[in-house]
Structure 1
């Protein structure tokens, strides 16, 4: 059971890994954005600044780099087969790589204008946020668009810079609507279900939220970047606690993911600083 103090913060979080080397070399980071975990426990990080994807093992050691200089990666996800899918914002398409880094597929050119966030549903569909179009697309395979919804605005079914996306326990599509300071939830066909958040610094509020993911209970984790924290909500959007704050060493959180062992993985991206951190909660 979570132990929450009077400030709505979880009492303890043990940092297991802290990779904070800013640079261009192997194992160094520049503008790390999305993060995902492979089936073997390795951690995959998309680096916009270094135009590559890096892979680290569960001890934080550098394993491989993928697509160096050939992609502009933002969102990253893992397919049911264990392959790596990346939104290539520079070339406005998606790329698929094997865990060893071999290119398997390139698709989506002409269908996306600003692909950013990415999630893979339990049935294998790809859900992509498009920050240029302020829209969400759901694809089955490389050619079949099952749903596309959203335009620019602040209404329930509209977005202003929808950065990241996750899949809920009942295949809901969970979107961080960053400039509207909200998390919005839709069914698998794009029908609006609920939203939560609002601009502010109080518990349950956001200032430009970034990454989202879910845990094994269906709770929703949000990287609340400008509030320097990672917050936890129930699947219904009820604020539960701030899992990580500046007291835990969190600053400018971007991507969030839950590892195969239940640890929380966070990327941080700020001016001349970058980090990949893993916490045991």
Structure 2
């Protein structure tokens, strides 16, 4: 257990560096393979960090909800800059695409914006199809290997897909507990085949969808001891990291992700943080 924190996000770099964002402690923590942790990124004004992402040179981007800015740190943890002052109302999710553009969700403003490496605003993701396809409390962002931008639209209980130009592609999920339905989806990630893995927060499960949003199966449920999952990420060596907890995400669990006739998870798991 990670009793004193709230792990809102977990990210793994291509060289298998594991970073967890602890909103309560106000820091991003790096962990080794045995779960030993050390404070890696912190700043005196970085209050309530929510999510992090890796830039192509190993630098790290971190959103801070309370400071209302985005921080950029160098590969070794040295502070570089902030951006978004007087622009963001409550930045939450963050991802980096193949062009090294920084994509940020603002859960209070209900917007998702795209910025260049220096933080300059480029454009917002937006669907003009209908008001129902606008964002309501967007919280997490993921970019697939095909550069599809995936947004968990928590307030609308759905997941929305956009191309790299910010054009709306489709939405899937709606409020409910049936297969394929969602209740406040949180983090999203994808596997090498483009399948989408969604932390279905208030349904206490992690579900697998096709790249087009077709429901495949539940990977984890409350029967596996899962409670309110928040962060989820898949590593290059086939491990899935999930943050969860009853009142706050105080545990990170690692599962072995396998592929046979269909994708599934081994039932055994190990706590990454067990004090």
TM-score, with length taken from structure 2? 0.86
Shift, 1:234, TM fit: 0.8
- Who is 1:218 aligned against? 194
Is this contact kept in 1: 2:229–2:249, CA < 8 A?
A: no
Q: Give the Cα–Cα distance (whole angstroms) in 2 for the partners of residues 273 and 239 of structure 1.
A: 25
| Aligned counterparts, 1:255-266, within 5 A | 255-266=231-242
Shift, 1:171, TM fit: 1.6
| Aligned counterparts, 1:4-83, within 5 A | 20-23=1-4, 30-67=5-42, 70-71=45-46, 72-83=48-59
Q: Give the Cα–Cα distance (whole angstroms) in 2 for the partners of residues 161 and 150 of structure 1.
A: 14
Q: Give the Cα–Cα distance (whole angstroms) in 2 for the partners of residues 179 and 107 of structure 1.
A: 26
- Who is 1:96 aligned against? 72
Bigger mean CA deviation after superposition, 159-168 or 139-148: 139-148
Is this contact kept in 2: 1:52–1:70, CA < 8 A?
A: no
Which of 142, 146, 152 aligns to 1:166? It is 142
Is this contact kept in 2: 1:50–1:68, CA < 8 A?
A: no
Aligned length: 254
Bigger mean CA deviation after superposition, 51-60 or 230-239: 51-60
Query: Which fold has the larger relative contact order, with Cα–Cα distance below 8 Å and residues 6 or more apart in sequence?
Result: 1
| Aligned counterparts, 1:201-212, within 5 A | 201-212=177-188
Q: Give the Cα–Cα distance (whole angstroms) in 1 for the partners of residues 217 and 191 of structure 2.
A: 14
Which of 91, 96, 109 aligns to 1:115? It is 91
Q: Give the Cα–Cα distance (whole angstroms) in 2 for the partners of residues 147 and 68 of structure 1.
A: 28
Q: Give the Cα–Cα distance (whole angstroms) in 1 for the partners of residues 67 and 39 of structure 2.
A: 22
Shift, 1:99, TM fit: 4.2
How much is the aligned-residue C-alpha RMSD, in angstroms?
Answer: 1.9
Distance change in 2, residues 1:81/1:272 (3 Å): closer
SS of aligned partner of 1:254: coil
Which of 253, 264, 277 aligns to 2:229? It is 253
SS of aligned partner of 2:133: coil
Shift, 1:168, TM fit: 2.5
Q: Where do 4+ consecutive residues of structure 1 move more than 3 Å?
A: 154-157
Q: Give the Cα–Cα distance (whole angstroms) in 2 for the partners of residues 66 and 190 of structure 1.
A: 30
SS of aligned partner of 1:253: coil
Is this contact kept in 2: 1:35–1:43, CA < 8 A?
A: yes
Is this contact kept in 2: 1:117–1:164, CA < 8 A?
A: yes
Q: Give the Cα–Cα distance (whole angstroms) in 2 for the partners of residues 150 and 191 of structure 1.
A: 7
Is this contact kept in 1: 2:45–2:67, CA < 8 A?
A: no
- Who is 2:250 aligned against? 274
Bigger mean CA deviation after superposition, 62-71 or 180-189: 62-71
Distance change in 2, residues 1:59/1:260 (3 Å): farther
Ranges in structure 2 where 5+ consecutive residues have no aligned partner: 258-275
- Who is 2:212 aligned against? 236
- Who is 2:159 aligned against? 183
Shift, 1:157, TM fit: 3.4
Q: Give the Cα–Cα distance (whole angstroms) in 2 for the partners of residues 44 and 70 of structure 1.
A: 19
TM-score, with length taken from structure 1? 0.84
